[in-house]
A and B are shown apart, each in its own frame.
Chain A
Amino acid sequence: MVKLKIELSGGLEILFGNSKEHDLEISQANGKVTLADVITKARDDLLTDRPELFMKDDSVRPGILVLVNDTDWELTGTLHTLVEDGDTVTFISTLHGG
């Protein structure tokens, strides 16, 4: 069992019951949890509204930034990034105007 903290910002929190912080627990048969698993599980367990604004195909929608413990997921292998117990995964939408 891997326990994670999920953070949402940039307007994404609206899709997640208007809350910026959530806890998420995932267990995988082989014990390895990737960001691909986290994204799907966050959609299934936490998302309350309009999944098409969070995911596209098997990943987040382009324009949503993903960080694990404040590190860009593009440095750690995007969907294949392994997460560990206690990690914080942050999703930030860049799609809102400014």
Chain B
Amino acid sequence: MVKLCCACQKEKAALKRPKTSEQLCKECFYSALEEEVHQTIVQHNLFSPGERVAVAASGGKDSTVLAHILTTLNNRHNYGLDLFLLSIDEGISGYRDDSLETVKRNEQQYGIPLKILSYQELYGWTMDEIVRAIGHKNNCTFCGVFRRQALDRGAALMKADKMATGHNADDIAETVLLNILRGDVPRLGRCANIITGEDSAQPRVKPFKYTYEKEIVMYAFFKKLDYFSTECIYAPFAARGAAREFVKDLEMARPRAICDLIRSAEEFRLDVKEGQTLPTAGKCQRCGYISSQDVCKACVLLEGLNKGLPNLGISRTRGTKGGKAGLPAAVDAST
């Protein structure tokens, strides 16, 4: 039995939208998804005309679809944005070098420039060298801390006004859950913000905050977009844990659960008591990067590497919270 698209009533329906249960054909689905992202951008004032925007690009599905949709919308609605792709080369042979080939093709396909910045240039170490020095334990901590800072530095170097990341609704729902599980109240209050780092030189925006992962993957599949989906050789299948699985189980039972988790975090307000202060953003004394500590996490990790003490900054030390029971300490975002 062929079901017809509930929007155009002409074409055969190709998918069921998780958020709305609508049955849409491919073309009506593209329009609906693009329009939703456009509305998100407009309603939340994510961009202003003339801004230079770095699109954080890993070559994976989310950032590939983001680059595609942002270039499409920028032309269609005359946002007046100066878009470029920003990629980080962690120095993982057999993994990142392949995904960077995807990003290089994206540069041609979307007609926007690409800047690649490497851990080697920024920190003097590739991930391959780090793993050789410290083994497989904790290497994701190094990679995560270094990547976040590398993207910010790349954006600053390229004189970007903003950075757009491909975090989708499922990612954010997962982060909300992780912050609840850890009792990380300050992060719970801000992890669902659509704009973060508003006081910094390059605020980060999430145009896919309300976009379901299923729709991003369907969009990429139907449009035959060129994306990369090999697992990282140092953490195959391990990047997503129990919280991710739980989000998917919830979605299967009730697709709205993802939106509702995000809304729960949005409505959450931290009640700051008198005399209590939250960590304020200062600058790292070594590298000048934004940090709530005297020395930023990346510099602490780097010091450990350079001194042959790779556990420096990994175990619970002065000034670091969380990091218990093998959970990575920072879960504002996972790229």
Asked if B245 contacts A62 (CB within 8 A), the reply is yes
Whole-angstrom distance between the Cβ of A26 and the nearest chain B Cβ: 22
Whole-angstrom distance between the Cβ of B26 and the nearest chain A Cβ: 8
Instruction: Determine the residue in chain A with the shortest Cβ distance to B212.
Output: A94
Among B12, B16, B64, B237, the residue within 8 A (CB) of A74 is B16
Q: Does B13 contact A (CB under 8 A)?
A: yes
Given the interface pairs A72-B14, A74-B16, the reply to whether A94 lies near B231 with Cβ below 8 Å is: no
Q: Does B218 contact A (CB under 8 A)?
A: yes
Residue numbers in B under 8 Å from A96 (CB-CB) = 60-61, 229, 231, 239
Among B248-256, B282-290, B298-306, the stretch that binds chain A is: B248-256
Q: Does A70 contact B (CB under 8 A)?
A: yes
Instruction: Determine the residue in chain A with the shortest Cβ distance to B334.
Output: A97
How far is it, in angstroms, between the C-alpha of A53 and the C-alpha of B239 when the chains are bound?
Answer: 13
How far is it, in angstroms, between the C-alpha of A93 and the C-alpha of B222 when the chains are bound?
Answer: 14
Among A62, A72, A95, the residue within 8 A (CB) of B218 is A72
Asked if A71 contacts B229 (CB within 8 A), the reply is no
Q: Does B123 contact A (CB under 8 A)?
A: no
Asked if B221 contacts A92 (CB within 8 A), the reply is yes
How far is it, in angstroms, between the C-alpha of A90 and the C-alpha of B14 when the chains are bound?
Answer: 13
Whole-angstrom distance between the Cβ of B143 and the nearest chain A Cβ: 12
Residue numbers in B under 8 Å from A10 (CB-CB) = 61, 217, 229
Among A53, A62, A65, the residue within 8 A (CB) of B217 is A65
Residue numbers in B under 8 Å from A92 (CB-CB) = 217, 221
Among B14, B240, B252, the residue within 8 A (CB) of A97 is B240
Asked if A72 contacts B221 (CB within 8 A), the reply is no
Asked if B16 contacts A63 (CB within 8 A), the reply is no
Bitwise, B16-47 to A at CB < 8 A (1) or not (0) is: 10000001000000000000000000000000
Binding site for B on A (CB under 8 A): 9-11, 14, 50, 53, 61-63, 65, 67, 70-72, 74-75, 90, 92-98
Subset of 13 A-B contacts with CB under 8 Å = A14-B231, A62-B248, A63-B244, A70-B222, A71-B15, A72-B218, A75-B3, A94-B61, A94-B214, A96-B60, A97-B335, A98-B61, A98-B63
